[in-house]
Amino acid sequence: MMLIKIIVTIYFLATFAPIITYFLEKIYTKKLKNIKIKNYIDIYVLLPAFKEQKIVDSTIEWFRKFKYKGNIKFLIITTQKEEKEYKDKKIKGLTTSQVVKNKLKQINDSRFVHYHYPKTIGNKSSQMNYALKKIKKECNDDTYISVFDFDSQPELNTFENLNKVYISKNKPDVINQIPLNIKNFNEISNKSIIMMIYTFQHLVRSIAIEKLKLLICSLTKLKIPQYCMGACMHIKHKVLVENNYFPIFVDDLTLGYRLSIKGYRFTLLPSINLSLIPNNIKGYIGSATLIFKGICTYLNEIFAIKGNVYGKLKMFIFGTFNLIEFAIVPFIFIFGYIYSLINLKISLLSLIMILIPILWSISSYYVIRHYKMKSKNKVKLILSIILSPLWFIFRPLGFIMYFIKKIISIITKKNIEYKKTER
């Protein structure tokens, strides 16, 4: 019972983290505001694409809006894996590669380059590593590799701020940008209460945990273990070369663990990147399964890296807390709800357990309104806030599905297959 009280207390205190984050970010952005950029760094933006036909036009048009005074290239990387799937399944229509070719021919913008990964086996990391080897001779020690999910919509001050952070923080190794999964909130809010709840709860994690940790590292000399943001990360090309490029299988979490153990410096890029909410529960489960797989790789990194004992110790603590958060804490909350329901008694502890996700949802909705988005259906909005405690039922689904897949793979002696979330 004491352990449950401690966990609930920590989670309740976390409801105030967005306020702390807000004021710390004010301090951080104020320091960056007056920095003058004399020499702009070279930036290569990687945009790996797989089954993205529907958003090729909107994504390219968004990145065309950037007016950068230095050298910048947008590398769109498609894959033969998609071509093979279309051919084998006799799927009609253009592949992403064909749509990209047509679009780039139409716009005739030299900043955009199309690479096609020629192998049918591989994933996002394989595509990005292929592109990195293509541009290797063009990069210097201070070249940054920016990675965005294909559904990303980063603020137009992103690369300007990237240069300011580069100057202010003395060339940090990793500059993480925080993704907010609210790009299609207006559409989702009229369809699915559960996906609205997911958005609220995920948004709190982005602001109250991910951004807060990065701000602490940015405003102090502390090195808190981090993971890279797969939807929007900016890494020195030199750092990627030193660490054998992006790891296969999980490009972001695993790479972040590896760099954290070795003592590389992380800092925050104070520009927002908007990304899409999964369309449905199936999409969420697929995404959550992959995330949990990535979380588990911290142990592999600890055993694989030689030396760095202090970094390994910090990563073990950090990684273990991550596992507990995803695999154990949800069941503690579910148990608390069921116990209160069966006994028809709401104690102060159970009341706080109910209020925590509700308070998180309310604070998240204020963030969403800040970005001029709102729910078209007020009834669904109110219900999604009131029913926010249900999230602890859905939260461990990624953990459960990962272990189901793991057991099946052991029995069948086949590798686990992870499918991309369909748009």
Taking the whole predicted model, whether its pTM rises above 0.85 is answered as yes
Backbone φ/ψ region at 119: left (φ over 0), alpha (ψ -120 to 50), beta: beta
Res 393 pLDDT > 70: yes
| pLDDT tens-place string over residues 174-195 | 999 999 988 888 888 888 899 9
Q: What does the pLDDT read at residue 285? A: 87
Residue 421 — pLDDT band, cuts 50, 70, 90? low
3-state secondary structure of 88: helix
Q: Is 184 helix (H, G, I), strand (E, B) or coil?
A: coil
Host H or E run for residue 308: none
CA distance 352 to 12: 7
**How far is 111 from 117, CA to CA, in rounded Å?**
19
User: Per-residue pLDDT tens for 221-238?
Assistant: 999 999 999 889 999 999
Domains of the chain: 2-32+40-327 (3.90.550.10)
Please give the pLDDT value at position 420.
58
Q: Walk across the sheet containing 72-79 and list its strands.
A: 112-117, 72-79, 43-48, 144-148, 232-236, 174-180, 266-274, 153-154
Residue 350 has pLDDT above 90, yes or no: no
Q: If you average pLDDT over every residue of the chain, what do you get?
A: 91
Query: Cα Rg for the chain, rounded, in angstroms?
Result: 22
- What digits encode the pLDDT tens for the residues 290-326? 888 889 999 999 999 999 999 999 999 999 999 998 8
Rounded to whole angstroms, the Cα distance separating 38 from 166 reads 12
The pLDDT score that the predictor gives to residue 44 is 98
Q: In a 10 Å sphere around its CB, with 0-12 CB exposed, 13-18 middle and 19+ buried, how is residue 34 labelled?
A: exposed
Q: 292 CB contacts (<8 Å, ≥6 apart)?
A: 326, 327, 398, 399, 402
pLDDT at 112 over 90: yes
Mean pLDDT of 343-363: 89
* pLDDT: which is higher, 20 or 420: 20
Model pLDDT for residues 34-74, shown as the tens digit of each residue: 899 999 999 999 999 999 999 999 999 999 999 999 999 99
Residue with tokens 């202010």: 168
pLDDT the model gives residue 230? 86
